Structure 1
Amino acid sequence: MEDSSLIRREESGFFCPSTGIYNSSWSSSLPPTPSLSLPEFLLSHLATSSPSKPAFIDAATGAGLTYADLRALAAAAASALAALGVCGGDVVLVVSPNSLHFPALALAVMSLGAILSTANFLLTRPEIQSQVQDSNPALIITTADLAPKLDGLIPRPLTLIEQFLASLSIDQTAPVEFPGVSPADPAALMYSSGTTGKSKGVVISHGNLVAMANVLRHVWGREEVHACVVPLFHMFGFSVFVCGAVAAGATVVVLHRYALEELLMAVEEHRVTLLPAAPPMVVQLARSCGVARGYDLRSLKEVICSGAPLGRDHMERFADAYPGIALSQCYGLTETSGPITVCHGLKDRFQISIGRLIPTVEAKIVDVSTRKALPPNEHGELLVRGPPVMQGYLKNQEATSLAIDEEGWLHTGDLCYIDREGLVYVVDRIKELIKYKAYQVAPAELEEVLSTHPEILDVAVTQYPDEVAGEIPMACIVRKAGSKIKGGDIISFMENKVAPYKKIRKVLFVESIPRSPSGKILRRHLKARVMQHQKPGISARL
């Protein structure tokens, strides 16, 4: 998979001591980013170079869309959305599991100059309602199964995907039009907790996504066959499978949901070569190598893990179980429009590092206290800058200013270092987010819900390490005087108030919550206290 256009430089070429800036340790021979909208970049010429090649295949049914089909479906869907009144600047919310048609719907929305927004279909109605109130979508597109949860959230009726697709008049010769859509225009509004606090709408421009697609098509080439088991509503899945894979002219095998044997069957049947995955999938693959021996996995060259930390012991177990498959990591944020480090071209069985910076992206490592830029091998906060970095948070200038400084550096909140080979390593997170099975969980959101319980005096939520999930949300509770509330009561209280991945799964009762004079929770102190308890409180089943 080595790409001759991505060749390592010497250390002096990727780190400048006078500025403290790290550049990609690959060569800069990447073609310039085209000044186009994302649909125009993907559909006007790149995706039509091999019109009969499969673009997306449904793993369950075997149904497929060629690149010509993808283009025609996007054109027909765009025409139908325009007939429904969707126009430039409108937000269109798509709530759906992975499907064969998700990419075409996304590109159809964007080709009109409208803004694609997505939501995790596992969210509760109140959680989606909060997002709807923030983004004010003109239209909601969803499936019949999910309709009861979404009906009535906006004045307009829901658009059901099944009925919408059945109504389309598809013409393979129809052009896809791009009515005045510029690279600077918003293309996507995806929700992330950012570095702190509640979920925020991340405004991603067409230029951001084209920059990402332009890089990824050179990292993962057109001969690859990807298995899509991570969600397309998430930026990791969207950037890799819609932006990168389509730009490269690759083939994507789409699974509606992750199930081990369905994945193994898809790898065997469709000769999958690349598997982007979340850490729990890698852990299960390693533990289930006996099951995997019943399938022909010889086509699979690499598993690319992202979304949350993956322990070295899991990497070693995977490498021992699958000696012919490379295990690598990549790193990105919703705010960076996808992965900004990848391990492409590195040859070891598995990679502890998260790889090298992609071309076009710069980085700094700064001391957490002094903000001084640091040289290789010193730990500090990772700052990144470049074309894939978001425009900002929707209607939240304060949060935007905290995340992106006046020089354009995005503060990731992650404690990292970069070695003398240009490889980036994540040490820990400065930010407060909990990563449960690659999903982001904001402690502040859970704390707000828990604080409404009549017997809770004070509360703080933190992460607790878990072998399967990576981290689980754990509540540290101060009871009100006289309260006899138990851990199981806390877990039951949260049961139907948040999405399944946000549930409190451990409870520790404490006498006080460590706070600063201003009242801010001292989460590092809290985490240290939690780590003293080998078996804290009560644990909910995963």
Structure 2
Amino acid sequence: MFRSPLPDVVIPDVTVYDFLFGSLAEADRERCALVDGPSGAATTYRELQARIDAVAGALAARGVAPGDVVGLHATNSVEFVVVFHAILRAGATATTVNVMATASDLASQLTDSGATTLFTTSALLGQAREGAAAAGIPDERVIAIDGADGHPSLDELLAEQHAAPDVTIDPATHLAVLPYSSGTTARPKGVMLTHRNLVANVVQCGDLVGIEDDDRVLAVLPLFHIYGMTVLLNMALARRAALVTMPRFDLPEFLRTIQDEKCTLVFIAPPIALALAKHPLVDSYDLSSVHTMTSGAAPLDGKVGAAVTERIGCRMRQGYGMTEMSPVSHVIPLDRDDIALSSVGITIPNVECKLIDTLTGAEIEVPAEGVSEPGELLCKGPNIMVGYLGNPEATAATIDADGFLHTGDIATVDADGLVTVVDRLKELIKYKGYQVAPAELEAVLVSHPLIADAAVIAGRDAEGEEIPKAFVVLQAGAELDGDDVIAFVAERVAPHKKVREVAMIDSIPKSAAGKILRKDLRALEVVA
């Protein structure tokens, strides 16, 4: 086993709300907490806390209490932050929903999580209402944050001026959030993260990520995703910085917001890094305020990262994690210019790791010098999830008897404790930072009457980024081309889950037990 080269940190035994706002000093109350990127409107810490308390009171007045689950289906905004923390302040559990989710996706997540209330926006109300209705949530429990006929609005909840409820919960066991993750292979599952999990990860990473109270942190990555939720939202607030929200990524607006709001620390995913490295529009904006960009959610190519550093003149860092780890387990610290971007950095404090041989299960030794043999990365610490909601089998397959979470990623560690992820054991595809489960797409593909069998793997686009690629076996005598297959899937899944490339083959390679041999499909790609 190996641990962080840094000493353990003390993790306070408090709720997320108490951690962020319980120690809010009077001097900090007039500091800027949030900036709406499109309009520039600012919200102070005093105003933010008051709105959170009022919405928590309105939820309690509607019967929301500890043990209840509330859905949040919205793009990044000041209102998202208010609602998210109000749910937790009321003692309930927030299940955040991808804004690209279909009505079917929504219904599945709301039903599985047991959500009784849903917050959404007018722009997303169509699929939200349909998904909520399928999950048994009536219209009066679907709250349109920005207002819509027939639905309560956030302004109405605030106007009720209810006091925040007095709730007593155990931070170590009470679920704060239920984000949905595909784990290593299968359909999305509810990841049970406690208040302690979320607080721990902020404390573990705070000094390494290096957000300070004079930073202006850009939140273009979605706050419904655990990366945005912990590293951007909660960490910025904990460090008393200002968080600048953007509802979606649009390159000109992204560049304008950095320039006009003088953002200093920007968290991105690799596709944004690629745009920053190559797009000519970048040179039209003043990005000199940025001192650091940190990439996560998917592997960053070292050459792309170096190109961003050279072009913008900022530091580039990379981190690693997964939803099941709240999410961070490794990061290149702000003060470590000596660590190459090919690495994901050091293990964060309070986390134990080990590498195991994927064939034998034997532990791989940390070398006295040089780099270890590759093995699956396992992690254990206070940021590791409780388990998957209602799925003890999947939990047992992911967290072993010793409490180590099996990440499904193959990594090496060197004598200095630097970890490098070199391959993926898990089948999950990362498309522009979003999780795409092959099994989900395969189920859609084989529902086509002309498709006899199908398999999906991670292909590569012209820029080297992962894309969902389908291998399809047609029924005897059937006529279907790749464009037909792509269109069929696109009508049935969220945009980020669409198949981007199709190959027709005679049969899907499978093991004697019927498991798809994806390594054989990857070998076909190499031959092609």
TM-score, normalisation: structure 1: 0.91
1:271-315 CA deviation, whole Å, 9 max, x = no partner?
A: 211111010000001012x42222222221111001111223322
- Matched to 1:507, the amino acid is V
1:321-355 CA deviation, whole Å, 9 max, x = no partner?
A: 23x21111101111001222111121159621111
Aligned 8 A contact 2:332 2:339 in 1 = no
Matched residues in 2 for 1:169 and 1:420: separation? 55
Number of the residue aligned with 1:453:
448
Number of the residue aligned with 1:207:
196
Number of the residue aligned with 1:3:
none
**What RMSD over aligned residues (CA atoms) do the two structures have, in Å?**
1.8
1:110-160 CA deviation, whole Å, 9 max, x = no partner?
A: 112110001111111112111122112110110112112121233322111
1:472, distance to aligned residue in structure 2 (A): 0.8
Number of the residue aligned with 2:349:
359
- Matched to 1:93, the amino acid is G
Q: 1:191 aligns with which of 180, 194, 203?
A: 180
Structure 2 residue 429 is the aligned partner of structure 1 residue 434 = yes
Number of the residue aligned with 1:477:
472
Structure 2 residue 81 is the aligned partner of structure 1 residue 133 = no
Number of the residue aligned with 1:247:
238
Structure 2 residue 189 is the aligned partner of structure 1 residue 179 = no
1:223, distance to aligned residue in structure 2 (A): 2.6
Return 5+ residue gaps in structure 2 as ranges.
148-152, 367-371
Structure 2 residue 240 is the aligned partner of structure 1 residue 260 = no
Q: 1:282 aligns with which of 273, 293, 296?
A: 273
Give runs of aligned pairs for residues 72-471 of structure 1, distance below 5 A: 72-151=50-129, 152-153=133-134, 154-157=136-139, 158-163=142-147, 164-169=153-158, 177-183=165-171, 184-219=173-208, 220=210, 221-288=212-279, 290-322=280-312, 324-344=313-333, 345-348=335-338, 351-376=341-366, 377-468=372-463, 470-471=465-466
- Matched to 1:337, the amino acid is S
Q: Secondary structure at the match of 1:303?
A: strand
Aligned 8 A contact 1:340 1:361 in 2 = yes
- Matched to 1:341, the amino acid is H
Give the direction of change, closer, same or farther, for the CA distance of 1:161–1:171 in structure 2 (3 Å limit).
closer
Give the direction of change, closer, same or farther, for the CA distance of 1:127–1:47 in structure 2 (3 Å limit).
farther
Q: 2:5 aligns with which of 18, 25, 36?
A: 25
1:468, distance to aligned residue in structure 2 (A): 4.3
Number of the residue aligned with 1:17:
none
Matched residues in 1 for 2:121 and 2:308: separation? 36
Matched residues in 1 for 2:444 and 2:263: separation? 43
Q: 2:522 aligns with which of 518, 522, 527?
A: 527
Matched residues in 2 for 1:373 and 1:216: separation? 27
- Matched to 1:287, the amino acid is K
Matched residues in 1 for 2:22 and 2:163: separation? 9
Give the direction of change, closer, same or farther, for the CA distance of 1:107–1:378 in structure 2 (3 Å limit).
same
Number of the residue aligned with 1:13:
none
1:360, distance to aligned residue in structure 2 (A): 1.0
Q: Secondary structure at the match of 2:50?
A: helix
- Matched to 2:350, the amino acid is T
Aligned 8 A contact 1:217 1:245 in 2 = no
Aligned 8 A contact 1:280 1:469 in 2 = no
Matched residues in 2 for 1:281 and 1:356: separation? 24
Farther-moved stretch of structure 1 (261-270 vs 222-231): 261-270
Matched residues in 1 for 2:321 and 2:24: separation? 25
Aligned 8 A contact 1:213 1:243 in 2 = yes
Matched residues in 2 for 1:36 and 1:471: separation? 39
- Matched to 1:50, the amino acid is D
Aligned 8 A contact 1:216 1:245 in 2 = no
Farther-moved stretch of structure 1 (370-379 vs 494-503): 370-379
Give runs of aligned pairs for residues 48-87 of structure 1, distance below 5 A: 50-87=28-65
Q: Secondary structure at the match of 1:520?
A: coil
Number of the residue aligned with 2:150:
none
1:268, distance to aligned residue in structure 2 (A): 1.7
- Matched to 1:182, the amino acid is D
Structure 2 residue 490 is the aligned partner of structure 1 residue 501 = no
- Matched to 2:272, the amino acid is M
- Matched to 1:60, the amino acid is P
1:483, distance to aligned residue in structure 2 (A): 1.3
Matched residues in 2 for 1:313 and 1:462: separation? 25
1:156-175 CA deviation, whole Å, 9 max, x = no partner?
A: 22111124321244799x97
1:176, distance to aligned residue in structure 2 (A): 5.1
Q: 2:482 aligns with which of 484, 487, 508?
A: 487
Matched residues in 2 for 1:301 and 1:178: separation? 41
- Matched to 2:325, the amino acid is T
Aligned 8 A contact 2:294 2:319 in 1 = yes
Aligned 8 A contact 1:47 1:246 in 2 = no
* Segments of 4+ moved more than 6 angstroms: none
- Matched to 1:61, the amino acid is S
1:507, distance to aligned residue in structure 2 (A): 0.6
Q: Secondary structure at the match of 1:105?
A: helix
Matched residues in 1 for 2:339 and 2:359: separation? 36
Give the direction of change, closer, same or farther, for the CA distance of 1:169–1:93 in structure 2 (3 Å limit).
closer
1:222, distance to aligned residue in structure 2 (A): 2.3
1:46, distance to aligned residue in structure 2 (A): 3.9
Aligned residues: 508
Return 5+ residue gaps in structure 1 as ranges.
1-20, 534-542
Matched residues in 2 for 1:456 and 1:166: separation? 50
Farther-moved stretch of structure 1 (456-465 vs 158-167): 158-167
Aligned 8 A contact 2:54 2:163 in 1 = no
Matched residues in 2 for 1:180 and 1:132: separation? 25
Aligned 8 A contact 1:475 1:506 in 2 = yes
Give the direction of change, closer, same or farther, for the CA distance of 1:46–1:339 in structure 2 (3 Å limit).
farther
Q: 1:42 aligns with which of 5, 20, 25?
A: 20
